[in-house]
């Protein structure tokens, strides 16, 4: 045993020396690598303002949670009640005898259709869209068709009043065909509104659980630009020309109802301007900001979103104000409305005679019409 161990010991020593030498070389390389001079960063001196940050709009979301449902509910109730009364009165008394009657009936249908879409947008602002893409596209199409048809009908009402007052001789000459022309033009208005709404039907999508009419800034530019031109600039130009001509004609007349008629026209124009101008100005400015690539100021973007929400709700008021401005302001229409209330049992006979200004012995005749100059 002793001789065998003595023979093995000289072979073990070179192996140990080779292993130690290899370990030392590896250790020295590790130390060299660990002590390499890497550039040192001073993280405390980094300017984080150079990096893009996400604009948090929680305040806008909280604002929409209470503002949109409240305002939409008010507009829905008033718009539903007012336009339903106009439609019931027209059908109950079969009042489609003039162009204005036909246009007012179609205007009430457009505003009623618009009012019926508001609960869906209220749901969209509270809990997001949960009805699928097909329903999203359908509701946006209904909203835009009713919106465009309402604006175009306001144009045709102003044109009808222009010919009835400023071109009275010409209007009387074509009186027999007036109702037929108004029905054909009403169908054309609805078809045109449907054509104008095709881009919304194409680009409407669901983004972040919200039904939105566009998903890209390029689509937003096209949709908003066309809406401003077709649903605001065009009606504004037509109504401005027609009603300014009517006022000029009335100022030259000596009719005792002249001052009342001018007040009615001013009320019509004032409602249109107060409801539509603020929203379209904000929409126009939003379109410019989008065309320039957006804004980096988060607070500015938040304020612009606030302005859009508020002015849009003000613009929606038109669907519940139109019945009062265009229909209920007429003498004959108010009388028919109160007569409808009386026959439905909602008004006593004494109150009917009191508010209608009629005596018991005098029954309303078919010759009674709306105020001559009422729009």
Instruction: Tell me which residues of the chain have a pLDDT lower than 50.
Output: 1-10, 25, 30-41, 43, 46, 48, 51, 359-375
Helix and strand counts by DSSP (H, E) for the chain:
14, 2
Q: Cα Rg for the chain, rounded, in angstroms?
A: 36
Which pLDDT value is given to residue 125? 83
* DSSP of 229-259: IIIIIHHHHHHHHHHHHHHHHHHH---TTHH
Q: Is 58-339 in CATH node 1.20.1070.10?
A: yes
Phi then psi dihedrals of residue 206, to 5 deg: -110, 115
Strand partners, 212: 205
Tell me how crowded residue 30 is: count the other CB atoms within 10 A of its CB: 10
Q: What is the pLDDT of residue 363?
A: 42
Alpha-carbon dihedral angle through residues 307, 308, 313, 316, given to the nearest 10 degrees: 140
Q: Which residue shows structure tokens 């070179």?
A: 14
Angle separating helix axes 258-291 and 234-252, nearest 10 degrees? 160
Question: Given this model, what pLDDT does residue 352 score?
Answer: 67
For residue 216, give both structure tokens.
């890209």
Predicted local confidence at residue 177, as pLDDT = 85
SS3 367: coil
Q: What is the pLDDT of residue 274?
A: 92
* Residue 283: Cβ within 10 Å count: 21
C-alpha to C-alpha distances, 213 to 71, 125, 135, 198, 242, nearest whole angstrom: 21, 14, 13, 11, 33
- Angle CA(322)–CA(327)–CA(328) in degrees, nearest 5? 100
Could you give the 3-state DSSP secondary structure of residue 212?
strand
Q: Is the dihedral of CA 179, 185, 187, 190 positive or negative?
A: negative
CB count within 10 Å of CB 260 equals 16
Record the tokens describing residue 99, joined without a space: 């162009």
Reported as a single tens digit per residue, the pLDDT across 74-86 is: 999 999 999 998 8
What pLDDT is recorded for position 172? 77
List the one residue out of 84, 161, 96, 122 whose CA is nearest residue 319: 84
pLDDT of 15 reads 52
pLDDT the model gives residue 11: 53
Give the pLDDT of residue 236: 93
pTM, whole model, 2 decimals?
A: 0.78
pLDDT tens-place string over residues 115-143 = 999 999 888 888 888 888 899 999 989 99
Give pLDDT, residue 280.
94
């Amino acid at each position: 045993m002793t001789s065998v161990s003595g023979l093995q010991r000289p072979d073990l020593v070179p192996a140990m020396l080779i292993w130690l030498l290899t370990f030392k070389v590896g250790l020295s390389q590790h130390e060299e690598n660990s002590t390499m001079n890497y550039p040192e960063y001073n993280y405390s001196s980094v300017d984080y303002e150079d990096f893009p940050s996400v604009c948090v709009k929680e305040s806008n979301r909280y604002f929409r949670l209470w503002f949109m449902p409240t305002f939409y509910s008010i507009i829905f109730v008033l718009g539903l009640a007012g336009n339903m009364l106009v439609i019931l009165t027209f059908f109950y008394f079969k009042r489609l005898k003039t162009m204005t009657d036909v246009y007012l009936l179609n205007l009430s249908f457009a505003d009623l259709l618009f009012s019926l879409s508001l609960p869906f947008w209220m749901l969209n602002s509270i809990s997001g869209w949960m009805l699928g893409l097909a329903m999203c596209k359908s509701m946006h199409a209904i909203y835009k068709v009713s919106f465009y048809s309402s604006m175009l009908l306001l144009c045709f009402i102003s044109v009808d009043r222009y010919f009835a007052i400023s071109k009275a001789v010409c209007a009387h000459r074509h009186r027999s065909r007036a109702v037929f022309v108004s029905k054909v033009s009403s169908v054309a208005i609805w078809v045109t509104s449907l054509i104008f709404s095709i881009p919304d039907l194409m680009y409407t999508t669901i983004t972040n659980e919200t039904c939105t009419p566009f998903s890209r800034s390029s689509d937003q530019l096209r949709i908003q630009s066309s809406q401003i031109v077709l649903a605001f600039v065009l009606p504004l130009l037509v109504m401005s020309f027609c009603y300014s001509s009517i006022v000029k004609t009335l100022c030259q007349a000596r009719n005792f109802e002249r001052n009342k008629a001018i007040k009615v026209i001013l009320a019509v124009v004032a409602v249109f301007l107060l409801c539509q101008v603020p929203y379209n100005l904000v929409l126009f400015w939003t379109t410019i900001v989008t065309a320039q690539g957006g804004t980096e100021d988060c607070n500015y973007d938040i304020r612009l979103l606030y302005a859009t929400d508020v002015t849009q709700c003000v613009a929606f008021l038109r669907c519940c104000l139109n019945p009062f401005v265009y229909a209920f302001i007429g003498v004959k229409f108010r009388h028919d409305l109160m007569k409808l209330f009386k026959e439905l049992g909602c008004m006593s006979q004494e109150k009917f005679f009191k508010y209608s200004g009629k005596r018991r012995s005098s029954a309303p005749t078919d010759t009674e019409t709306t105020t001559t100059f009422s729009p």
